[in-house]
A and B are shown apart, each in its own frame.
Chain A
Amino acid sequence: MSEVVLEVAGLTKAFGGLRAVSDLSFSTFRGEILGIIGPNGSGKTTLFNLITGVFPATSGSVRFRGNPMSGLQTDAIARLGLVRTFQSATVFKHEPVYENIRRGSMFGCIGNPAWFFRRGRVAAGASKARTTAEDLLEFSGLADVAGTLAGNLPYGKQKMLGVAIALAQHPLQLLMDEPAAGLNPSETEAMGEFIAQIRSKRGIDVILVEHDMRMVTSMCDRILALNYGKVIAIDVPAKIVAHPEVIEAYLGADFE
């Protein structure tokens, strides 16, 4: 296999007596879309929160392109190119679509207020942010609603915008938390198409947490199945859907 991008080793998170994530280890490779499945409460979102530094792990480590991420805050991790999207549509509702994407690009350049005083940084960041926003409006199919307040968009478009905001940071790897949740079938299809293009046209790696099994099996190179915060299996989709433990814990016997 090719170069390792994200390396999770022995990751554990205990909330009191509950081990939401327990001794979890896996790696992702350059160019890969990795799916993560598991029943509700199996630790998928906790895993995302640990990787992106929302809260610290009890033990274990996360390495991104060889660099340890422990102790880093969410914002620092994002600036290194490991960016997440959220389960519910998460956008700046009171701002126009264009401004949402522009902020996605701009904020990385001014993450620390001290950077305001570095000469030319704000101006350079602002001009790059404008180009990025215009490019991503086209790429994500939101150009015709560029001036609309994000909160007035239909839910499917809001989720699309959430992904576009994340892309504006030029991430190396995108962690997507249930991009299809709350979408109707045609919106889900559009989202699937969009994710495929994120990899093929932008060369961005993706980790995809999703309940829509059709999307996961058709898009992912490998799937990681979780239950009770532990890895049941990590393998190619065909083997995962036939894995007895995965069927028992998550898919159910009638899954085809």
Chain B
Amino acid sequence: MTPMKSLLKFLAIIAALAVLPFLLRSPFLTHIGVMICLYTALALSMNLMLRIGQISFAHGAFMGLGAYGSALLMMRLGLPFPLAFFGAALAVTLLAWLVGLVFLRIRGVYFVLLTFAFGEIIVLTFIEWVSLFGGSGGLAGVPRPGWFGHEIQSRDGFYLLALALAAFAYASVHAIYRSELGAVITSLDENEALTRSLGIDSRRYRLLTFCFSAFLAGLSGALYGHYLTLVTPEDYGFGVPVNLVVLNVIGGVAHPIGTVLGALLLVPLPEFLRDAKQYQVLLYGILLIFFLLFMPDGLYGAINRFRRGEKGGTQ
């Protein structure tokens, strides 16, 4: 497909998704749509990290900092929504750059542990710094997004914002993977020594990926906070990055569409299983075991193999 054609196809899909809540007229389904969009953006940010081969457990904290940051910039400084929203995400990116300078020197399980510790420190700061972050109760009454007096009150409006965010995350991550940048990222994961010997400054590339990934997490977190109108520390703990990894593994890491499939499949589950919360983790566990055993390359890999099997059926 030509780039123009695939762009048109992408825009058509987004447009179709945008009119969906106005046709369905179901607040519950619209809510699920918002959550799927937010988690798609978050999971794509984790996909970038998985592609450089470094699982980050700091992403819950990045999301939380986006949520608290955007809320506080509006509540304390009275900034308009767009400034607070992007300002918070940029602050998260700056922080990611600072910690990335140190953390990204370390690989494998030690990187996971370091980012885990960082995430826990941030969450503890949310809890302990009561005057700023409001302690365990968090921040209530987070303002709705608005621009020049127009405030987004409805679920449908939020859905459109969240869809725009997911579309931006998908388009940017997809564009990265299709460009030379994507070649560098996959090369770094596959063989760092070789990639460096070919003239690639691996530290700068890892840092860039980490920062952009944190930027996406910050944006998603900010929107999440405004959506719930309540920002509490427990929403941004260690469970977030775990879920994001699970979404990617089940959907398939190899292509961003896999990440979207993972979000489509898994995000609605807790909403439908609200009355049976104890089974939610169990179901996640069973799904994960099933996929790791039978479809290690996720839904995307399975679909891909099925399609190739169809085409190659005559051989």
- A interface residues with partner B (beta carbon < 8 Å): 52, 54, 73-76, 78-79, 83-84, 86, 90-94, 99, 103-104, 106-108, 110-114, 116, 122, 125-126, 165-166, 169
Contact = CB atoms under 8 A, between A and B. Distances in A.
5 contacts: A75-B201, A75-B202, A78-B199, A86-B197, A116-B180
Contacts of A91: 191, 194
Interface residues of B, number: 21
A113 B180 contact: no
Interface string B172-206: 00000000110110110011011111111110110
Interface of B: 180-181, 183-184, 186-187, 190-191, 193-202, 204-205, 208
B190 A108 contact: no
Chain B interface mostly helix, strand, loop or mixed? helix
A166 B181 contact: no
Contact of A107 (B200, B204, B208): B200
B193 A165 contact: no
Contacts of B187: 92, 103, 107
B46 to A, nearest CB: 20
Given A107-B195, A113-B205, A126-B180, A75 B200 contact: yes
Contacts of A75: 196-202
Nearest to B209: A113
Which 6 A-B pairs rank lowest in CB-CB distance, beginning with the nearest?
A108-B199, A107-B198, A111-B199, A78-B199, A79-B199, A74-B196
Nearest to B205: A113
Contact of A112 (B183, B186, B204): B204
Contact of A78 (B180, B197, B205): B197
Contacts of B196: 73-75, 78
A165 B180 contact: no
Nearest to A78: B199
A140 B144 CA distance: 63
A90 B187 CA distance: 12
B197 A52 contact: yes
Given A91-B194, A92-B191, A165-B194, A113 B199 contact: no
Nearest to A102: B183
Nearest to A166: B197
Given A103-B183, A113-B205, A90 B198 contact: no
Contacts of B180: 106, 110, 116, 122, 125-126
